[in-house]
Structure 1
Amino acid sequence: MAESVSAKQFHDEQGTAGWHVLYGGAQTVYPTGSFATGVEFIRRIALDTVAVGREPDIDLRPEAVVVRTASTPRGRLDALDVELVQRVSAIAAELGLTPDPSQLHTIQIAIAEAEGTSTRDFWVAALGYESLGGFVVDPLRRGPRMWFDEISTPGRGRTHIDVAVPNDRADEHVAAVLRAGGRLADASHAPQWWTFASPENHGVDIAAWGDVDDGA
């Protein structure tokens, strides 16, 4: 079994520049400029994963390829993830592709529940998801994962969206939300995360902790 790796240890390794540890593991976006370039990139990644013994999640679009790797469905990392990232980075460099973290973010949904109430089975059935530890997740890791937030404090926002961003882009992201009319509802946990309310009082947390913390 490969040795576990923290977010800090991951970033300290050579060949991981441009990658970030967000919900679901280490990931990045490679703009490709064409569908054909993306297909060739993925073909070469597929050939290289044989030697590593781990296959990444890959999302192909005409304009970009998103690559993500983790040792567990919860998004933990180990030494094989580091090796995989290093190999993908080397292939990208050979193809002239550069990661663009400005396009990188992941989303999860926090479902508010009254104390002593569970809606987990409802969401599993409604979305075709499956239960995994404290989360409800898409088995193919396409849609956002969900977690359950027991709320008993009056006046607090209820179901909300969590947006994980690269740690070094958090301040820029927070500033953009403020410019767009967001109200800073709670900054007591900053710089790990900031809680915002939209002009219509929808709750959104901007999270930067996963990129520097072990608890991704």
Structure 2
Amino acid sequence: MGAKDVWTREAIDVELESLPQWRYRLGSLTAALKAPSSRIALDLMARIGDLAEAANHHPDVDWRYNMLFVKLVSHDAGSEVTSRDITLAKQISAVAHELGAVAAPALNRSYELAIDTDDPSAVSETWRVALGYKMGRFGDLVDPYGRGPGLWFQQTATPNANRMHVDVHVSLTDVGPVLDAVAATEGSALDHAHAPRWVVVTDAQGNRLCLCTEEGHGPDL
């Protein structure tokens, strides 16, 4: 398979079996790596930079004290996962192990704001211009610098009275404890009608969020 060939979800899932630090999320490979100290986290970030320069393939890396949040995707291949991402993920995992950094899957979450609408085209441009975002691969809006949450337009003929909600993306491997913890909060209600793709959570005052997984998401789905 060529360096820029797009991987199918099936191939990605097989490869991730040998990369337990990584998850497939919204078209990318993601990892949350916890270092023994802030200093070592910075060392790890520098080593990731060296690997990226050598490969001429640069991930998004977000440093928070002793945590690094890493996202790998090939923007020049339609923002899909390619062999370069798989190779770099393996190299980053090896360096993380060398420096004593471990995966923290419970912290590995992504977020989108979602708006119910019967006509996404009628509203999306207003939001794109106001946020300074660009169009994403799924008809969503994304921050070109990866700083802000994505914006997703949930097309429906019957928009909810509370049109805006948050989509919290958690890998299928890790979502069980999150659902259990949310279900235990006072006044919450969970709707599993669309599980395992997403579960609708309603709080005690009727506000909604969705806990989403990677199921049904991928280049060949």
When normalised by structure 1's length, the TM-score is 0.88
1:37 aligned to 2:43? no
Q: Hey, what does 2:189 align to over in structure 1? A: 183
Rounded Cα–Cα distance in structure 1 between residues aligned with 2:209 and 2:87:
34
2:158 pairs, out of 153, 158, 162, with 153
SS in structure 1 of the partner of residue 46 of structure 2: helix
Offset from partner CA, 1:99-151 (integer Å, 9 cap, x none): 11111100111122244762112212322222335111111011111121233
SS in structure 1 of the partner of residue 125 of structure 2: helix
Q: Hey, what does 2:12 align to over in structure 1? A: 10
Q: Hey, what does 2:208 align to over in structure 1? A: 203
SS in structure 2 of the partner of residue 109 of structure 1: strand
1:11, CA displacement in angstroms?
Answer: 3.8
Letter of the 1:50 counterpart: E
Rounded Cα–Cα distance in structure 1 between residues aligned with 2:75 and 2:159:
36
- 1:42-121, aligned counterparts within 5 Å? 42-72=45-75, 75-115=79-119, 118-121=122-125
Rounded Cα–Cα distance in structure 1 between residues aligned with 2:80 and 2:208:
27
Aligned length: 214
Unaligned 5+ residue runs, structure 1?
A: none
Rounded Cα–Cα distance in structure 1 between residues aligned with 2:132 and 2:160:
32
Q: Please say if residues 33 and 101 of structure 2, whose CA atoms lie closer than 8 Å, have aligned partners that are also in contact.
A: yes
Letter of the 2:82 counterpart: D
Q: Please say if residues 8 and 213 of structure 1, whose CA atoms lie closer than 8 Å, have aligned partners that are also in contact.
A: no
Which stretch shifts more, 55-64 or 148-157? 148-157
1:18, CA displacement in angstroms?
Answer: 1.6
1:66, CA displacement in angstroms?
Answer: 0.8
Letter of the 1:183 counterpart: A
User: What's the Cα RMSD here?
Assistant: 2.4
Offset from partner CA, 1:46-103 (integer Å, 9 cap, x none): 1112332311100011121111101138752111110010000011011111111111
Q: Please say if residues 30 and 98 of structure 1, whose CA atoms lie closer than 8 Å, have aligned partners that are also in contact.
A: yes
When normalised by structure 2's length, the TM-score is 0.86
SS in structure 2 of the partner of residue 204 of structure 1: strand
Q: Please say if residues 33 and 62 of structure 1, whose CA atoms lie closer than 8 Å, have aligned partners that are also in contact.
A: no
Q: Please say if residues 26 and 217 of structure 2, whose CA atoms lie closer than 8 Å, have aligned partners that are also in contact.
A: no
Letter of the 1:87 counterpart: Q
Letter of the 2:5 counterpart: E
